[in-house]
Structure 1
Amino acid sequence: MAETILLEIVTPTGVALRERVTDVTAPSVAGEFGVLPGHLPLLAALRTGLVTYHQDGHAHRLAVHHGFVEVANDVALLLTERFARAEDVDVVKTRMRLKEVDAELDHWQGELTDHRRRELIEEEQWLATELELIGDPPPPMVREDTRFLADHAEPPPVDELAASSEPDESLTDHKKPGSPFPETK
């Protein structure tokens, strides 16, 4: 078994990083995951966040935007829209832009599934990740990502909701003879 894995991060402009590393931790839509040499094949949706890897006993952190990650044959390939190292982040510009984006989102009057709103949320997440990368965390904020909401989703019919709210007698044993539960009146 290999002692290292090849970490490759590719953006639309080309290969942003290609390094031999001992391990990688990355953010996915299902949570953070780690990769060591010999990892089973994996394909996951990448979310905006920090990637950490170790090389020669030193920890390194990078920021990545959403995308995909594939792990196979001791290669971790991250395909992402954006990539940043700490030295790439201009804290003043990033904080100013984050303030502008937050103000626009705070005063949003359009549809929750509007493409422009989704772009703003993604930008907000990216700016917050850049600040976290340099150890200057942004103020706490929570914005839901509406990317996975169905455009024409409707609630279930009321009669289905009413039917599911009644207890299923077959799942209870309180009416069986010898039951430790007293009979209700």
Structure 2
Amino acid sequence: MADTILLEIVTPTGVALRKQVTDVTAPSVAGEFGVMPGHLPLLAALRTGLVTYHEEGREHRLAVAHGFVEVVNDKALLLTERFMNKDDVDVVKVRLRLKEVDDQLDHWQGDLTDPKRRQLIEEEQWLATQLELIGDPPLPLVREDTRFLAQNAEAPPENEMVEGQTPDESLTDHRKPGSTFPES
């Protein structure tokens, strides 16, 4: 088994990074995951966030945007829309743009599924990731990504909603005779 894996990050403009590393941690839509030599094959959707890797005992971090990652035969290939090193972050420019994007989203009057809104949310995530990369992340802010919402989603029937149901007394009152809860 090899001691290292090949980490390759590819953007639309070409190969952004290609290094032999001892391990990689990357953000996926299902959470962060780590890869070491001998890892089983993996295909995952990449989300905007930080990638961490170790090379010759030193930790390195960089920012990536959404995309895909494939791990096979001691190679981790990340296909991403954007890539940034810590030294390339222009803090003043990023903070100004983040404020503009936040203001636009805070005052959004259009449809929640509008592609322009989704682009603003993705840009907000990218800008916040750059600030996190330099160690100065903005306050956490959660904006929903609406690309997976059904256009004509309907609320569930009232009898299926939790608010419309009464609790089963045998499960909520442990003092009641016949309760499934043991006496204390």
The TM-score normalised by the length of structure 1 is 0.87
What residue is the counterpart of 2:108 in the other structure?
108
Q: 1:61-76, aligned counterparts within 5 Å? A: 61-76=61-76
Matched residue, 1:177 = none
Residue 90 of structure 1 corresponds to which residue in structure 2?
90
Deviation at 1:117, TM superposition (A): 0.6
Q: Which amino acid aligns with 2:177?
A: P
> Number of paired residues?
175
Inter-partner Cα distance in structure 2 for 1:87 and 1:12: 21
Q: Distance in 2 between matches of 1:80 and 1:136?
A: 23
Calculate the aligned-residue CA RMSD, in Å: 2.2
In the alignment, structure 2 segments of 5+ residues that lack a partner are 180-184
**What secondary structure does 1:151 align onto?**
coil
Structure 1 residue 138, shift from structure 2 partner: 1.5
Higher mean Cα deviation, 55-64 or 137-146?
137-146
Shift of 1:111: 1.3
Task: Establish whether residue 49 from structure 1 lines up as the match of residue 44 from structure 2.
Answer: no
SS, match of residue 9 in structure 1? strand
Structure 1 residue runs of 4+, over 6 Å off? none
Q: In structure 2, what is the Cα distance between the partners aligned to 1:12 and 1:100?
A: 26
Find the counterpart in structure 1 of residue 182 from structure 2: none
**Equivalent residue of 1:103, what SS?**
helix
Partners of 2:178 and 2:96 in 1: how far apart?
66
1:141 Cα deviation from its structure 2 partner:
1.9
**C-alpha displacement at 1:113, in angstroms?**
1.1
In the alignment, the residues of structure 2 paired with residue 74 and residue 147 of structure 1 have an alpha-carbon distance, to the nearest angstrom, of 33
Cα distance between partner residues in 1 of 2:165 and 2:7: 50
Deviations 1:30-51 (A, max 9, x none): 1110000000011111000000
For 2:81 and 2:39, locate their aligned partners in 1 and report how far apart those are by CA, in whole Å: 25
Matched, 1:182 2:177: yes
TM-score between both structures, scaled by the size of structure 2:
0.87
Return 5+ residue gaps in structure 1 as ranges.
Answer: 174-180
